[in-house]
């Protein structure tokens, strides 16, 4: 949910709702929003609130979190929030979970008041949340209302091997952020599939890697649109996240980023599918062949809303 230079959080929210409405018409199956805090360029800190707005403006598309950073929250609170969403929009809510804070450590402290609740408790917190969305803890007189017996489907998200191992152990579907941690993609998927244990929710492993996909009418325009993401990624690597900058001529990127930054950004975006429909189709086909993905999640940080909509429209045609 990018907040662009010269724009506002209100505009970003409006644009994201509009994109979800179009995505539904174009045949997309899911629309997820991520939890980030203290990030000037991302407007989805109140993730469950945004999910409610998107689900309320659409009719059939599944809407979920990609993801809720569970160490920031008590499992009961998330069970109540997503139980409420499921009650409002039955059969349409996904709960993707991550173990990172989604922010810097100072902001994590402000979110939690202390850092005693760390990612080390993530497996226990996932199990507690799963129970609260099911039968609850009647022996202790604790239940999520709404939430109990809603059985909102859980996904584990990851950019490391830990969540792949945990998703396999718990028999949950798994989504990997290959647009963020490309080096570990293939190993994470292999661990997940080889270690998977069937569960009441899922009998076979189900993997949904995420990639950056920017589609335009021709390769040159897609590469120009990509420069916004390149600049934003460089700012993040510098430790100075900012609002999404406008695109520039691709030749100018070499003057805006150092050689080391250019290499780091290119490496992070090594699986990106950027170009005309034909180019993107070829890239995506190779990616799916390599990963054996059961489903694909695409993301695109595009400055101009009309270009963003056009990219997702073309991607829908390419991926259909």
Residue 19 has pLDDT above 80, yes or no: yes
**Winning range, highest mean pLDDT, from 180-184, 190-194, 238-242:** 190-194
Cα separation of 279 and 313, whole Å? 15
Cα separation of 265 and 103, whole Å? 20
Choose between 260 and 101: higher pLDDT: 260
Number of domains, the chain:
1
Q: Is residue 70 situated within a structural domain?
A: no
> Both tokens of residue 175?
């989504």
The pLDDT-based confidence of 114 (bands split at 50, 70, 90) is: low
Q: Is residue 3 situated within a structural domain?
A: no
Cα separation of 26 and 59, whole Å? 13
pLDDT for the residue 139:
82
Q: Is residue 146 situated within a structural domain?
A: no
pLDDT for the residue 103:
61
Choose between 11 and 106: higher pLDDT: 11
The pLDDT-based confidence of 116 (bands split at 50, 70, 90) is: low
Nearest to 312 by CA among 38, 16, 45, 98: 16
Residue 113 has pLDDT above 60, yes or no: no
What length does the chain have? Answer: 320
Mean pLDDT to the nearest integer, 46-60 = 97
Is residue 53 within 8 A of residue 17, CB to CB? The reply is: yes
Angle in degrees, 0-180, between the axes of helices 122-132 and 161-170, rounded to the nearest 10: 40
Tokens 């830990």 sit on residue: 162
The pLDDT-based confidence of 1 (bands split at 50, 70, 90) is: confident
Cα separation of 218 and 307, whole Å? 12
DSSP the chain: -BPBTT--HHHHHHHHHHHHHHHHHHT-SEEEE----S-TTB--SSHHHHHHHHHHT-SSSEEEEEEEEGGGS-HHHHHHHHHHHHHHSTT-EEEEEESS-SS-HHHHHHHHSSSSS-GGGHHHHHHHHHHHTTT-BGGGTB--TTTTTT-PPEEEEESSHHHHHHHHHHT--EEEBTTT-GGGHHHHHHHHHHH----SS-SS--B--EEEEEE-SSHHHHHHHHHHHHHHHHHHHTT---SBPPP--GGGHHHHS-HHHHHHHHHHTTT-EEESHHHHHHHHHHHHHHHT-SS-EEE---SSHHHHHHHHHHHHHHH-
pLDDT for the residue 102:
57
Mean model confidence pLDDT for the chain: 93
Q: Is residue 228 situated within a structural domain?
A: yes
**Percent of the chain at pLDDT exceeding 90:** 85
Mean pLDDT to the nearest integer, 157-178 = 95
How far is the CA of 174 from the CAs of 12, 20, 102, 157, 234, in angstroms?
A: 28, 22, 18, 6, 28
Domain range for residue 317?
A: 213-289+303-320
Q: Is residue 238 situated within a structural domain?
A: yes
Cα separation of 295 and 209, whole Å? 7
Residue 115 has pLDDT above 70, yes or no: no
Q: Is residue 247 situated within a structural domain?
A: yes
Mean pLDDT to the nearest integer, 288-310 = 97
How far is the CA of 43 from the CAs of 3, 206, 288, in angstroms?
A: 6, 29, 30
Choose between 187 and 136: higher pLDDT: 187
pLDDT for the residue 7:
96
Angle in degrees, 0-180, between the axes of helices 47-56 and 75-88, rounded to the nearest 10: 10
> Both tokens of residue 297?
């999640």
Strands 62-69 and 93-98, sheet pairing: parallel
Q: Is residue 277 situated within a structural domain?
A: yes
Mean pLDDT to the nearest integer, 183-207 = 96
Q: Is residue 280 situated within a structural domain?
A: yes
């Amino acid at each position: 949910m990018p907040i662009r230079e010269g724009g506002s959080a209100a505009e970003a929210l409006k644009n994201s709702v509009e994109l979800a409405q179009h995505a539904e018409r174009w045949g997309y199956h899911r629309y997820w929003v991520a939890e980030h805090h203290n990030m000037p360029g991302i407007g989805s800190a109140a993730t469950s609130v945004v999910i409610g707005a998107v689900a309320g403006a659409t009719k059939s598309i599944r809407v979920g979190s990609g993801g809720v950073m569970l160490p920031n929250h008590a499992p009961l609170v998330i069970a109540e929030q997503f139980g409420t969403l499921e009650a409002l929009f039955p059969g349409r809510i996904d709960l993707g979970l991550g173990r990172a804070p989604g922010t810097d450590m100072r902001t994590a402290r402000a979110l939690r008041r202390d850092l005693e609740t760390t990612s080390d408790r993530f497996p226990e917190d996932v199990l507690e949340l799963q129970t609260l969305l099911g039968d609850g803890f009647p022996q202790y007189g604790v239940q999520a209302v709404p939430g109990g017996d809603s059985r909102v489907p859980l996904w584990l998200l990851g950019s490391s091997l830990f969540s792949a191992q945990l998703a396999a152990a718990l028999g949950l579907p798994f989504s990997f952020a290959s647009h963020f941690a490309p080096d570990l993609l293939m190993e994470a998927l292999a661990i997940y599939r080889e270690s998977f244990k069937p569960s009441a929710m899922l009998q076979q492993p189900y993997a949904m890697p995420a990639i950056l996909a920017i589609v335009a009418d021709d390769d040159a325009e897609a590469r120009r649109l990509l420069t916004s993401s390149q600049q934003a990624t460089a700012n993040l690597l510098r430790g100075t996240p900012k609002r999404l900058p406008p695109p520039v001529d691709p030749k100018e990127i070499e003057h805006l980023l150092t050689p080391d930054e250019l290499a780091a950004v290119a490496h992070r975006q090594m699986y990106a599918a950027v170009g005309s429909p034909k180019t993107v189709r070829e890239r995506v086909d190779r990616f799916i062949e390599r990963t054996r993905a059961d489903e694909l999640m695409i993301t695109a940080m595009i400055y101009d809303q009309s270009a963003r909509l056009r990219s997702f429209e073309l991607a829908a045609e390419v991926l259909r």
